[in-house]
């Protein structure tokens, strides 16, 4: 049975995939459905949802379209989540491969550096980095990756330690391949699958960290973010709770969808291995 059949037979995986498909559809159609700047004034301030069908989810304190902000916020969440996951996995895979393959002093130094980063909570590290460097989308991605690369590094190192003594690695040494070429061309590709399994957790955590930074006013000021929308609604929480509830629900569903889809991929891969 193929991977796709195993995946589709897992209810939580299907639910996660449907949520992610809706999120991607929102992100892709945002410029088409809402071509205007989502931060521009669209109507009267604090218009409740379903009062004006040209503004179905109402407006915020400045009269901006909540639905347009929600769709454009999905673009920011996807961009930050995927970019932070790719950056942290790349850094972690390189560090873990070098540590596991070289061994000795190199392994010791790289693992102590990893321990040092791991002792600091990821959110505090991101908060400090963005506060010093300044808020922008690229800075937020780097800040999140700084706190997330340690997990992939440890997994990659463990896999490399189990792979580096195999016959094909010894054969590569015998024919005179450079150690770095062996590490990154022969060993790393076989060590990557367990590392990539962490991607769903990193994406979900990155989306939450970005939302928290935006809530504190440390997100990119030129982009709509769900965390910023929640913070915007905080001042009128009693009179217009929908301003915080709507992006909050979107954030929860997105993180849930990423987690469920990631778990479905892991379960489908495990089921396929058991059958093969």
Tens-digit pLDDT profile for residues 34-56: 999 998 999 999 999 999 889 99
- For residue 197, give both structure tokens: 């399994």
> Alpha carbon of 234 to those of 129, 197, 224, 240, 255: distances in Å?
25, 36, 16, 9, 21
CA atoms within 13 A on the CB side of 123: 11
Is the model's pLDDT at 61 over the cut of 70? yes
CA 246/CA 241 separation, integer angstroms: 9
pLDDT of 257: 93
> What's the structural domain count of the chain?
1
pTM above 0.85? yes
- For residue 106, give both structure tokens: 């190199």
CATH of the domain at 11: 1.10.3720.10
Range of the domain at 73: 3-275
Q: Considering the chain, what is the average pLDDT of its residues?
A: 90
pLDDT of 44: 93
Is the model's pLDDT at 192 over the cut of 70? yes
- For residue 185, give both structure tokens: 């061309």
Confidence of residue 269 (pLDDT cuts 50, 70, 90): confident
Average the pLDDT over 228-240 and give the result: 91
Average the pLDDT over 137-165 and give the result: 93
The model's pLDDT over 193-222, given as tens digits with 9 standing for 90+, comes to 889 888 889 999 999 999 999 999 998 888
Average the pLDDT over 261-270 and give the result: 81
Confidence of residue 1 (pLDDT cuts 50, 70, 90): low
């Amino acid at each position: 049975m193929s991977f796709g059949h195993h995946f589709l037979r897992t209810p939580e995986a299907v639910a996660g995939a449907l949520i992610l498909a809706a999120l991607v559809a929102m992100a892709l159609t945002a410029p088409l459905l809402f071509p205007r700047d989502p931060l521009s004034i669209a109507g009267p301030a604090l218009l409740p949802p379903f009062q004006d069908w040209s503004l179905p989810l109402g407006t915020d304190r400045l009269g901006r379209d909540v639905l347009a902000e929600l769709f454009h916020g999905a673009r920011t969440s996807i961009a930050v989540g995927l970019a932070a996951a790719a950056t942290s996995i790349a850094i972690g895979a390189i560090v873990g491969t070098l540590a596991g393959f070289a061994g000795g002093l190199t392994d010791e130094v790289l693992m102590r550096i990893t321990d040092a980063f791991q002792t600091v909570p990821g959110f505090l590290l991101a908060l400090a980095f963005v506060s010093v460097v300044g808020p922008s989308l690229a800075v937020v991605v780097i800040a999140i990756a700084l706190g997330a690369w340690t997990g992939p590094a440890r997994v990659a190192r463990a896999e490399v330690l189990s792979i580096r003594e195999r016959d094909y690695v010894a054969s590569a040494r015998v024919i005179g391949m450079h150690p770095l070429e062996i590490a990154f061309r022969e060993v790393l590709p076989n060590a990557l699958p367990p590392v990539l399994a962490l991607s769903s957790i990193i994406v979900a955590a990155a989306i939450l960290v970005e939302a928290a930074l935006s809530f504190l006013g440390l997100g990119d000021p030129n982009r709509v973010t769900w965390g910023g929308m929640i913070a915007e609604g905080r001042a009128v929480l009693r009179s217009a709770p929908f301003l915080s509830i709507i992006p909050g629900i979107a954030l929860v569903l997105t993180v849930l969808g990423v987690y469920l889809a990631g778990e479905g991929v892991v379960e489908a891969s495990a089921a396929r291995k058991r059958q093969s």
